[in-house]
Structure 1
Amino acid sequence: MGIYVAVRGWLECDKEQLAAAQEIISSHEDGHYSHGWGAPGRPVNWTHYLFYGADIRESAVDWLMHQIRDMARIPANEDGDRVTGLFLASHEIDGMTEWQVREGRLLISPGDGRHRYLDG
């Protein structure tokens, strides 16, 4: 059956950065786990959000992290704002980690105990 990781979180960006992120997603399309990505049909105000939520096989974690790292490297906009975000990844055996998207990078740290209720 395999080991699964529940990944849920979001990215924040502007309209142009969202388009670049969607191109990254398209370039990694796998016909299955790619369906975990979603965005509101109509944005509200100036910040655009891109969400991911899926239970993925442990073997697909690197595939997803590669996409998120590419999105983190999307250039800053004219205001100097970069893509930012937060994901929680709950591994069936190893527990939760937090994936922070900031400063053009994906930073990974142990998950905060306050979020363990999500591992139900």
Structure 2
Amino acid sequence: MLTASGLLALAAPQDAEAAAYCPGRKARTLPFSAGTVLVYKRGGYVCAVTVPKKPGTRRTMSVSVQPRGGRPVVDAGRFAYRAGPVTVHAGQRCVRVRGKISGASVSSGWILC
């Protein structure tokens, strides 16, 4: 079993890293030029992490999750490996997820409705 999990981590390091921080099932992958935002959902909660394509160098990163009708929950700063995780209780509401690394960014629009 250990070998299988090790192979999984090698095959998808971004997914494995985000899964360590966000509970639930992967609901969306939002790729962009500098990295990926991974979105997970469990019950009425949505969690997101921004992961750079080339981790290890400190740079400006952010991730935010905003339930429709609510305020965004944001993690922003200078990170080497990831921004987040951030988690919100969305219930049955749509959410907007955004991620940014240096000047590159992605926004999901309203999803998971």
Q: Same fold (TM over 0.5)?
A: no
TM range (shorter): 0.3 to 0.5
Task: Give the TM-score taking structure 1 as reference length.
Answer: 0.32
